[in-house]
Amino acid sequence: MIGKRQSHFLPYVSVADIFRSHPQWRRVFGGLLLLVMWDASGLDLSLARWFGGPDGFPLQYHPLLADWLHDHVRQAGWWLLAGMTAAVWWPVGSLKALQRRERAWMMAAVWLSLLLVVTLKGLSRTSCPWELAEFGGAATYISHWDWWARDGGSGRCFPAGHASTAFAFLAVAVWLQAVSTRTSRALWFTVVSVGLVLGWVQQARGAHYFSHTLWTAWLCWATAVTVHALSRPVAVLATLPR
């Protein structure tokens, strides 16, 4: 008796199935709901007023914030990005537990996170707080969701670019979840903490609203989870006989 012939083809799996099966996707949507609630609260401008007034933002050019926690941190971020990219071929620490293909997908998520933030920022017509008339500038406050309105400033302020120096590496925590939960959680805490500090730096200088930092965090997180979810069918295909 001839048994059933085994198929070497994967069953049909929809994109929706891929995302629904990912353990972090519900958390991503939950984070989105909280973020939308923050936007609806209108607290961005109130927080900006804590740091600035009619004469501008006193900490805008403070050496610690402007030089060390902005310029130098940004340079360090590029070095870290280069080192993590090189780790695709020459891994260290917990990254050794990932296959090269997995490390390549992970770094693709990091780069895509940065590219997404930079692209959205370049398209945004929302100006930074330090350009508002009530802080000594010429722009008027408009929501960053009003993509077609001009506020009288230079725009290109949403979302927060500097915070992405840290938040882009949320992808590393997502990939390491399967290797070591403890390491992944520690990395999550570190990345989120550094990202919030960098966001606070720009908030205090008048360069961003708090929502800009939160949206950068969510965009990087959502990008990481999306790429990770899409990479899993590829990982399955790679195990099939050729």
113-149: pLDDT as tens digits: 999 999 999 999 999 999 999 999 999 999 998 888 9
Residue at token pair 């050019």: 61
| pLDDT attached to residue 11 | 46
Q: How far apart are CA 86 and CA 90, in angstroms?
A: 6
User: How many residues are listed for the chain in this entry?
Assistant: 242
Residue 17 pLDDT class (50, 70, 90 cuts): low
| Helices of type H across the chain | 15-20, 25-41, 44-51, 73-86, 100-123, 164-167, 170-176, 181-205, 210-238
pLDDT of 3 higher than 50:
no
What average pLDDT does the chain have?
90
Higher-confidence residue of 137 and 20: namely 137
- Give the long-range contacts of residues 42-50, CB within 8 A, separation 24 or more: 43/210, 44/209, 44/210, 44/211, 45/141, 45/209, 47/203, 47/209, 47/210, 48/129, 48/132, 48/135, 48/203, 48/206, 48/209, 49/134
Q: What is the mean pLDDT of residues 36-42?
A: 94
| pLDDT attached to residue 19 | 63
User: Domain boundaries in the chain?
Assistant: 49-238
Higher-confidence residue of 10 and 217: namely 217
The amino acid present at 155, given as its one-letter code, is G
Q: How far apart are CA 216 and CA 166, in angstroms?
A: 10
80-102: pLDDT as tens digits: 999 999 999 999 999 999 999 99
pTM: 0.89
Query: DSSP letter string over 196-224?
Result: HHHHHHHHHHTS--HHHHHHHHHHHHHHH
Enumerate residues 6+ apart whose C-beta is below 8 A from 119: none
Q: What is the mean pLDDT of residues 178-203?
A: 97
Residue 153 pLDDT class (50, 70, 90 cuts): very high
Instruction: Express as a percent the part of the chain with pLDDT over 70.
Output: 87
Q: What is the mean pLDDT of residues 102-117?
A: 98
| pLDDT attached to residue 148 | 87
pLDDT of 66 higher than 80:
yes
pLDDT of 194 higher than 50:
yes
| pLDDT attached to residue 154 | 95
Enumerate residues 6+ apart whose C-beta is below 8 A from 10: 233, 236, 237, 240
Phi then psi for residue 168, to 5 deg, are: -60, -25
